[in-house]
């Protein structure tokens, strides 16, 4: 991005020399993004982040669909898009996720049909639980339903190949793979009409108007170019997650999740503590954790995801803490975090 800054300032839609140079950077980034998900370059719509990509994929595919099927634990970018479709007259069905498990194909299948749009995540953003999206995609094709997949938490953690997946639209985001915030993409199956959610110019083949942030897209493309390296390190990250979970369970924590799941997130509840107070206490010790999605932070409400997963154990949501790990996480980091948790928990909750 630093190297591209001298060129990326120009509007890539301009026909002068500076604009053409910026366009070359933008299209190079698009190629990198497309390559990382097994897509054709022309089918990748660049967006201003994962939230916009989710909105575009869901609302763009909703035309002519009277029913929208989702889950109770979607990221706000998906949940709020679906909620708005409901206010516009669509029937909305939210599949349950009791005891932390994702919805099954048997639960989804009765709601499928030509008038149905399914909007579902690949990996849960608070627990790392994997959803059976390949099974969902096959069933959606069989019943002629449309399928949108939020893969923002999947890219770089599990192999993503949109051509093999069989969905109709897939959203990804740069910041989830080490790229800059504010850059994302929505892959759309060739031949599908996609209603834009913004009004304006004809950029992105008329699917996403507005001048793109070329510099951020360069960073996005560079991060996508490192996806295979990130994937190769996931077993090591999962081993570190297992190690820290064993420590936390020994300190009285209760795991909120179901297998299979990625190794990059651990969600535990600590009886006797309120999640926000525990997060604040850990922050004062230099350890950054959260109570849920950053998009919902500041609300001071128990995690809606954990509340939906464990409706008969509401204390879990109120005391839940999410710990994130990445390829940068080291074994000494795990030791430091474990000791920090031990010191804080020893003070007692409130």
The domain segmentation of the chain, as residue ranges, is 5-228, 233-345
* pLDDT tens by residue, 320-342: 999 999 999 999 999 999 999 99
- The one catalytic residue among 54, 140, 288, 295: 295
Predicted local confidence at residue 2, as pLDDT = 96
Interatomic CA distance for residues 280 and 290, integer angstroms: 9
CATH (one of 3.40.50.620, 3.40.50.1820, 3.30.360.10, 3.40.640.10) for 5-228: 3.40.640.10
Q: What is the DSSP letter of 48?
A: S
State the Cα–Cα distance between residues 133 and 139, nearest whole angstrom.
10
Q: Is 295 a catalytic residue?
A: yes
Residues 319, 264: Cα–Cα separation, whole Å: 20
pLDDT at 212 over 90: yes
Runs of H (alpha helix) within the chain: 5-8, 17-36, 50-61, 76-87, 105-108, 133-142, 162-165, 214-224, 227-232, 234-250, 275-284, 304-309, 315-318, 331-345
Selection from 49, 136, 73, 81 nearest residue 267 by Cα: 73
Q: Please give the structure tokens belonging to residue 148.
A: 């949108």
Q: Report which of 54, 284, 61 is spatially closest to residue 149, judged by C-alpha positions.
A: 54
Confidence check: pLDDT of 297 > 70? no
Which CATH fold would you assign to the domain 233-345?
3.90.1150
pLDDT band at 347 (very low <50, low <70, confident <90, very high): confident
């Amino acid at each position: 991005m630093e190297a591209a800054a001298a060129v990326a300032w120009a509007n890539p839609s301009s026909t002068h020399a500076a604009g053409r140079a910026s366009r070359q950077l933008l299209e190079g980034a698009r190629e990198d993004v497309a390559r990382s998900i097994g897509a054709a370059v022309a089918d990748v719509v660049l967006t201003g982040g994962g939230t916009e990509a989710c909105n575009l994929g869901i609302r763009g595919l909703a035309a002519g669909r009277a029913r929208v099927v989702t889950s109770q634990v979607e990221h706000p970018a998906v949940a709020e898009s679906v909620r708005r479709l409901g206010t516009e007259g669509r029937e909305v069905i939210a599949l349950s996720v009791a005891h932390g498990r994702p919805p099954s194909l048997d639960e989804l299948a009765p709601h499928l049909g030509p008038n149905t749009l399914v909007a579902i995540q690949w990996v849960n953003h608070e627990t790392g639980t994997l959803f059976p999206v390949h099974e969902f995609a096959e069933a959606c094709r069989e019943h002629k339903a449309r399928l949108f997949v939020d893969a923002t938490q999947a890219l770089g953690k599990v192999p993503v190949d949109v051509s093999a997946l069989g969905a109709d639209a897939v959203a990804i985001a740069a910041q989830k793979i080490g790229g800059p915030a504010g850059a994302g993409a929505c892959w759309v199956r060739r031949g599908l009409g996609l209603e834009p959610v913004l009004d304006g110019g004809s950029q992105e083949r008329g699917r996403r108007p507005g001048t793109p942030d070329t510099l951020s897209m360069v960073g996005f493309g560079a991060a996508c170019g490192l996806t295979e390296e990130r994937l190769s390190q996931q077993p090591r990250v999962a081993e570190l997650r297992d190690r820290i979970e064993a420590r936390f369970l020994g300190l009285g924590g209760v795991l909120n999740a179901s297998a299979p799941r990625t190794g990059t997130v651990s969600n535990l509840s600590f009886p006797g503590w309120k999640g926000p107070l525990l997060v604040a206490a850990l922050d004062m010790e230099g350890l950054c954790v959260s109570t849920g999605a950053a998009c919902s932070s500041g609300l001071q409400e128990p995690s809606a995801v954990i509340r939906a997963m464990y409706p008969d154990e509401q204390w879990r949501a109120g005391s839940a803490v999410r710990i994130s790990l990445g390829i940068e996480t080291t074994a000494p980091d795990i030791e430091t975090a474990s000791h920090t948790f031990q010191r804080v928990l020893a003070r007692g909750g409130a």
